[in-house]
């Protein structure tokens, strides 16, 4: 966790030579907490960090070595959720916002400006202003999404295709009810909004990459993707989006938010999967498959 007076919106790690249409992005691993936010929240440090996809940016740090860019958010999810639309404003948190049509995410406190963190714990006492909300959107949400769309546009120009790998982590307990009793739990969940956000052939290759690295993989249950996959997944335009959810228990202690003894081995396995996923977007690989 880093306290910052004015954190930047994102960091972009570019390869020396862009060789693939694949773009990796981590919208929830930000840990630069604005000083003003820390003074306002009623949560302690561990509680406020419970919504972070902690270390996900580090898990994918080898991306640029495989010819792909990595876009990493700096602002934390408790401050601003980049996987929500800018219109997903919570009237229970933000002054002057009218209740619109029912949105389950907003109703549960998980709008673009979250009202709660994991397990429904309130972030603030009272409300925040609409002016502050717009400042967060213009200062953090818009720059991140402009950068992301720019990277996808570059892929479309250079490779006539764009593949977004939207990188996340999930609590181990989120998988408790996914499988029948006695069955092995998935370790990676891919979300393509049940086929709406990416071509089946792309998702199959991503799934195969994780399977070859030794992971158990499932699709769309319990996470099918949210705003990012819905907004950027346009397979009919050769722009694909696949959400990747990783079981946090594979590499970290969720109580202490620290990497555990299996972290190094997990990163090694992930590097193999990353190399195979980056290769999906190479022109020579695509032409050989056609």
Peptide bond into 139 cis (omega under 30): no
| pLDDT tier for residue 166 given thresholds of 50, 70 and 90 | very high
**Rounded CA separation 92/85 (Å):** 17
C-alpha triplet 34, 38, 42: angle, nearest 5°: 150
pLDDT one-digit tens code per residue, 167-181: 999 998 887 777 667
Interhelix angle 200-212/263-280, rounded to 10 degrees, is 150
What are the angstrom distances between the C-alpha of 261 and each of 44, 106, 256, 269, 271?
26, 37, 13, 14, 17
| Cβ neighbours around 92 below 10 Å, total | 13
pLDDT at 284 over 60: no
The continuous run of DSSP H or E covering 52 comes out as: none
- The C-alpha R_g of the chain, in whole angstroms, comes to 19
> Which residues, 6 or more positions from 114, have their beta carbon under 8 angstroms from its beta carbon?
51, 77, 78, 80, 81, 90, 123
User: Closest Cα partner for 168 from 95, 253, 264, 241?
Assistant: 241
Q: Please name which of 114, 14, 111, 2 lies closest in space to residue 54, comparing C-alpha atoms.
A: 2
pTM of whole model > 0.85? yes
Q: Which domains does the chain have, with CATH numbers?
A: 2-77+160-289 (3.40.630.40)
Residue 103 CB contacts under 8 Å (≥ 6 apart), including other chains: 88, 111
Contact 237, 199 (CB under 8 A): no
pLDDT at 5 over 90: no
Which tens digit of pLDDT belongs to each residue from 8-30?
A: 899 999 999 999 999 999 999 99
CA gap 23, 268 in Å, rounded: 20
């Amino acid at each position: 966790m880093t306290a910052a007076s004015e954190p930047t919106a994102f960091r972009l790690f570019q390869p020396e030579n862009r060789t693939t249409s694949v773009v990796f992005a981590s919208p929830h691993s930000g840990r630069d907490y604005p000083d003003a936010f820390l003074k306002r929240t009623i949560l302690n440090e561990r509680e406020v960090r419970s919504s972070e996809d902690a270390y996900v940016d580090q898990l994918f740090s080898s991306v640029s070595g495989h010819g792909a860019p990595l876009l990493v958010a700096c602002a934390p999810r408790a401050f601003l959720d980049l996987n929500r639309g800018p219109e997903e404003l919570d009237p229970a948190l933000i002054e002057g916002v009218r209740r619109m049509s029912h949105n389950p995410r907003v109703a549960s406190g998980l709008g673009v400006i979250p009202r709660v963190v994991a397990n429904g714990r309130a972030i603030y006492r009272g409300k925040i202003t609409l002016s502050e909300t717009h400042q967060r959107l213009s200062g953090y949400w818009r720059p991140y999404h402009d950068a992301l769309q720019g990277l996808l546009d570059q892929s479309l120009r250079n490779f006539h295709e764009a593949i977004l790998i939207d990188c996340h982590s999930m609590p181990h307990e989120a998988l408790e009810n996914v499988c029948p009793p006695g069955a092995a739990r998935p370790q990676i969940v891919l979300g393509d909004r049940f086929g709406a956000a990416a071509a089946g052939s792309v998702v199959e290759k991503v799934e195969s990459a994780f399977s070859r690295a030794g992971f158990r993989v499932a699709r769309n249950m319990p996470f099918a993707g949210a705003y990012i996959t819905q907004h950027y997944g346009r397979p009919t335009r050769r722009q694909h989006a696949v959400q990747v959810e990783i079981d946090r228990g594979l590499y970290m202690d969720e109580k202490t938010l620290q990497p555990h003894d299996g972290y190094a081995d997990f990163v090694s396995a992930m590097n193999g999967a990353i190399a195979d996923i980056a290769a999906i977007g190479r022109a020579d690989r695509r032409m050989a498959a056609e």
